[in-house]
Amino acid sequence: MHHRFVSRTLVVIAAGALTLSGVSAWAQGRGRGTVPAAPGTPPEVTAIRAGRLFDAKTGTILTNQVVIVTGDRITDVGPSAAIPAGAREIDLSTATVLPGMIDMHVHLVGQGSLPMSTLIALQTAQRGLNAGFTTMADMNSRVSYLTVDLRNAINRGIVKGPRLQVAGPAIDPRAGGPVQAPSEISDESFANDLGVYSADDARRAVRKLKAYGVDFVKIYATQDFVGDEFRVFKPDGTMVNSPSLTAAEIAAAVDEAHRLGLKVACHAYGGEGLTSCISAGVDIPMHGPEMTDAQLNMIVQKKLMLGITIDDLINLDPGDKKITCGKVSRFTLTEGVFKRAHAAGVPLPFGSGRGSAGEGIMSVGGEASQFSWMTKWGMTPAEALQTAFMVAADSLNYKWGSQIGSVEKGKYADIIAVSGNPLTDVTEMERVKFVMKGGEVIRSDIGRPAASLSTGR
């Protein structure tokens, strides 16, 4: 059965399953104003009283603000914003109100069967939304295009979920690890390979991705293993950074993607692969734990962003240190790169690298713990928060920075709230109490019981 048919069918099945599993209040809409208005009905107006409001552009806290939401958009903000007669009021006067968070590097798809992967991707996305991440970018859906269908199902109102931009399957000729040689020669040896063996192949792969509806192209430019012996590191602490694509192949993929209106993200830990990505002008080089000063200077000169993930590397730290006998890990190397890039003024959009693993669900939504590491590594709390707002919004395709990333007139009403002040305790972002996406209240633990997606939160 065709993957996309299966994905669409399962998204609908998943919606029904969620309705039957105890979260129907969220899936169907809870409370006045959470169910979309009937055609021809004037959009509902909501007034949010914000005791504290984080200004994502200046990094400051404003007090005693009123946010007017009409339909799915913010129509006024300010201390004296007029509340229209009949408007629903939401009292967040004791809370800190912020824009919805953006995680521009997640992996929603696990390694299980396609039906299980679809169900997990849906629930993983919803867990993230429930934790305040109203927008996510999926940066590799492995061997299917189910994230394209999931994005479309959310956009069409079939299921609830965050705003999504998706890369679909990555251009990844390195595979995910050592591959058993097939008994017969087959092009299926590399499960996640779009068949890129030349510059022309790279253009062909990008055109295929575009035709199937992706928003980003994701390239894996370095191979992180050698045979079956070394994984990421050698015992002496040397990192494995074998280039998996040629500079010409990467340049062709980037040129074709930009010609077709797609952005490009590039996984590379260092070496030739990272240099090729930066030279080709990828929009977001990612990771770079072995980034040299020369490579960082190229990023600065080209005015690129750098997608440094932190949260996912914490889980990989023990394994890396076991291989290197405690000498080094991707996590420890990333600290140095993060500090150097921040000092150089490189924009660092929030990206956790979290996602689904196998047929279980990792805690997408808990990646807000990354803010604490950012402040430990030299950012102020305000700078750390800004990475998940305007910086991340500007990293997305289609100029989404004009639509999300700040609580501002004309933008989507993607709004969250926490009880305390995250500028004095950034861990408040791990305890989001209120979530609104496009004017719809997703959950509220402030003033009334939560309409929560996750039974674990």
Question: Domains in the chain and their CATH numbers?
Answer: 31-99+407-444 (2.30.40.10), 101-402 (3.20.20.140)
User: Residue written as tokens 């009880």?
Assistant: 419
What's the farthest any 2 CA atoms get from each other in the chain?
Answer: 74
Tell me the residue type at 30.
Answer: R
pLDDT in tens, the chain (457 residues): 444 444 454 444 444 444 333 333 333 333 333 445 566 788 999 999 999 999 999 999 999 999 999 999 999 999 999 999 999 999 999 999 999 999 999 999 877 788 888 998 999 999 999 999 999 999 999 889 999 999 999 999 999 999 999 999 999 887 566 666 655 544 444 445 578 999 999 999 999 999 999 999 999 999 877 666 667 888 888 888 889 999 999 999 999 999 999 999 999 999 999 999 999 999 999 999 999 999 999 999 999 999 999 998 998 899 899 989 999 999 999 999 999 999 999 999 999 998 765 444 455 668 999 999 999 999 999 999 999 999 999 999 999 999 999 999 999 999 999 999 999 999 999 999 999 999 999 999 985 433 444 333 3
C-alpha span between 397 and 343 (Å, rounded): 26
Q: Check the CA dihedral 8-9-10-12 and report its sign.
A: positive
pLDDT (0 to 100) of residue 406: 98
pLDDT (0 to 100) of residue 27: 33
C-alpha span between 10 and 100 (Å, rounded): 28
pLDDT (0 to 100) of residue 226: 66
pLDDT (0 to 100) of residue 11: 46
Partners of 91 in beta bridges: 49
- Give which of 122, 187, 170 is closest to 149, Cα–Cα: 122
pLDDT (0 to 100) of residue 232: 86
pLDDT (0 to 100) of residue 159: 97
Angle CA 309–418–346, to nearest 5: 30
pLDDT (0 to 100) of residue 112: 76
For the entire predicted model, the pTM comes to 0.89
